[in-house]
Amino acid sequence: MNPSLILAIAAMLGPAALPAGAHGLPGGTAALPLVADATAAGPAAGGTLAGQVLGQMISQATDGTYPGLDLRLVTDPLPVSGQAGAYLAARQAAAENDFAAAARYFVAAVEADPDDEFLQDGAIVSLVSAGMVDQAVALADRIAAGSETGDGTELAALLRRVDRARAEDWPAVLEMLDTMPADPSAGGPLLDGLFRAWALMGAGRAGDAFALLEQMGKEPGAGGMAQFQLALAKASVGDYEGAARLLENPVASTHLQGLTARVQVLSQLERNDQALALFEPLDRIEDEPQLAALRDRLAAGERLQFDVIANAREGLAQVLVTFGGALMGGQETDPLALLYARLAQYLDPDEPDARLLSAQLLMTAGQFDLAEREYDALRETGQMRPVSELARIDTLARADRLDDAEAAARALTENYPQLAQGWVSLGDVLRQNDSFAEAVPAYDRALEILRAQEDPQASWFALYARGISRERSGDYDGADADFQAALELQPDQAPILNYLGYSWVDRNMRLDEALALIERAVELRPDDGYILDSLAWAYYRLGRFADAVAPMERAVAVMSEDSLVNDHMGDIYWMAGRKREAEIQWQRAQSLYKPEDTDTDLPRIRAKLHVGLDAVLNAEAENGGTLPEGFGLPPEPEDGADTGDGGGDGAPDDASDG
């Protein structure tokens, strides 16, 4: 792969992925003054590829295909002199993983400079990543037609091979493989070898394909992948004995598709008992209904059909899925992963693994709207997979797309009502959205399912999570019961110890027991800021103010931006006689406060700043434990009056004796 291709692809899926909405526009589309020259690819250019792409993108932005696409970027570009505008806009959109916008701008840049390989590959990567593979193939054909070698860049050549494979024109695929040598950084001999093997299968030359795959299986690092593909190839022509022998190798079958293929092959050989034995060591098989269904059909004596692939085109799609999946793991997803997944979809639109891989990679890139299209398609075809759905819900929740996460969790529980983790996931999303009372029934349902299982340990997290929801809903007795039941199952879970202990401290009850629980949590997690805060607050409630200072200072050091922790530090400093430092901490807590800080009592902080903690505590004691509304706050200033305290952000001169 040449350096320009590496840069173009790296720009598409780099670490700069931004969450949707990050720029204040639907789907995260950036409203940038870096746009293409309207003369390069505007509506008047309808006869060019840029004009075709523009027309399709306008259509897809209006028909709901790409709901996140900001039409201002497509139809109303600001004029930028020269060719730099399209290039800069393309790079900016690519850095943000905004594939649709990047495609529009890279194509415009190619129209302006048709010989630049960086721009060519950038346009292809953008189009493929956005799911516009037809347009990418058209561009690749144009690039090849204008190339001295007739191939263009290796990426253009790859797209053209995939397109000919889709049409099952296997002689053309073999000819293309002969005319352009493999490039190691673009998949290299391994990808080209597997490509050639399936082209040979498609051309009716199974013996040559088998010989090639057997030879590839001897290469270091390629054995498992080549053996799996050889097993699929043999099974596709009815050589189930040969396929079964190959699939005995763990490196060829210890993945979902490998296990599925092996089970189906054994069943074709009327060895259902051996196929059933493969399921025995698997944990939580019910989380993969596809496997559970195979197991149940085997147990019923059914002879399973081999349907992992039906032909060479589908076999090649499996190759691309395997490559994409292999590049997805690790600390940073390889930029080529999405390219391979999209091309696998193009080859075999009905392949659920290709669609699922694309969806997962789009989620990783922060392109949630594009990902949702793929997940919706999986649901519509009955190919939803619970494990991937759970990961998707978690990703949506972490991106603060809680409405989408809740909708996905509800769909999962509707489709798989006996999946306990689906109900736990729904409860977690509701809890994250502060809908604590609504979360309780979700956890109730999860616990009903879990308690019917043999392993009692399976229910501890649902108990803990329901306890939090009950506590936050005011059902303190129910919460205590859940926390204590969870602790019986997991006595050394620091979060449970801490939450139960802190809930008692916060209610000023069972303080000695609470302190013991929290001290144990600190032993387990000595650097956890939340637990250190709980320890300090337990000392505070017990009147051990000097003991409270050190753990509270450690908590502030770990969680310096947390308004509640800083508020607690202020109270402890005050009671320890360090009143000026207390005021500084309350001022900091006030400045850090955000509306989502529901545990932080902002009016109470303001009252402490104006009248001090002693007066606030006395007022609460006289009012049944709550601060009277408006207590301790300065009077509203008359028009033009100066309150003399800096606008109410600090304490008056007589509020402290420190």
Q: How confident is the model at residue 655 (pLDDT cuts 50, 70, 90)?
A: very low
CA separation for the pair 85, 602 (Å, rounded):
48
Closest CA to 124 of 15, 27, 11: 11
Do the domains 495-553 and 385-491 match in fold? Answer: yes
C-alpha 281, offset from chain centre: 29
Q: Tokens for 114?
A: 């048709």
How far apart CA 6 and CA 26 sit, in angstroms, is 30
Q: Residue 331 has what pLDDT?
A: 55
Lowest mean pLDDT among 138-147, 394-403, 503-512: 138-147
Residue 112 has pLDDT above 60, yes or no: yes
Class of domain 385-491: mainly alpha
Q: What average pLDDT does the structure give for the chain?
A: 81
Q: Span 541-547, mean pLDDT? A: 95
Q: How far from the centroid of its chain's Cα atoms is residue 381's Cα?
A: 22
Of 24-28, 242-246, 338-342, the least confident? 24-28
What DSSP letter does each residue of 571-600 carry, written as one string?
A: HHHHHTT-HHHHHHHHHHHHHH--TT-TTS
Residue 11 pLDDT > 50, yes or no?
no
Angle between helices 206-216 and 188-202 (to 10 degrees): 160
Handedness of CA 630, 632, 634, 635 (dihedral sign): positive
Q: What is the pLDDT of residues 137-178, one digit of tens each?
A: 998 888 888 766 656 788 888 999 999 999 999 999 999 988
**52 contacts 135 by C-beta, under 8 angstroms:** yes
Question: Which among 513, 446, 502, 448 has a CA at the least distance from the CA of 476?
Answer: 502
Count Cβ atoms within 10 A of the Cβ of residue 101 and give its class: 0-12 exposed, 13-18 middle, 19 or more buried. Answer: buried
| Neighbouring residues of 565: CB distance < 8 A, sequence distance ≥ 6 | 529, 533, 552, 555, 556, 559
Which residue did the predictor score with more confidence, 618 or 33? Answer: 618
Dihedral sign for Cα 193, 195, 196, 202, please.
positive
Mean pLDDT, residues 360-380: 86
Confidence grade of residue 593 (pLDDT, cut at 50, 70, 90): very high
Indicate the CATH number for domain 495-553: 1.25.40.10
Instruction: Return d(Cα 196, Cα 31) in angstroms, integer.
Output: 45
**Six-digit token pair at 270?**
């009327």
| Top-confidence residue, 278 or 31 | 278
* Residue 649 confidence (pLDDT): 39
CB neighbourhood size of 333 (10 A): 19
Q: What is the residue extent of each domain of the chain? A: 385-491, 495-553, 560-632
Predicted pLDDT of residue 402: 92
Residue 44 has which token pair?
Answer: 């008047």
State the number of CA atoms in the 13 A half-sphere of 290 facing the CB. Answer: 17
- Give yes or no for residue 428 having a pLDDT over 50: yes
- Tell me 271's DSSP state: -
- Each residue's pLDDT tens digit, 258-272: 899 999 999 999 999
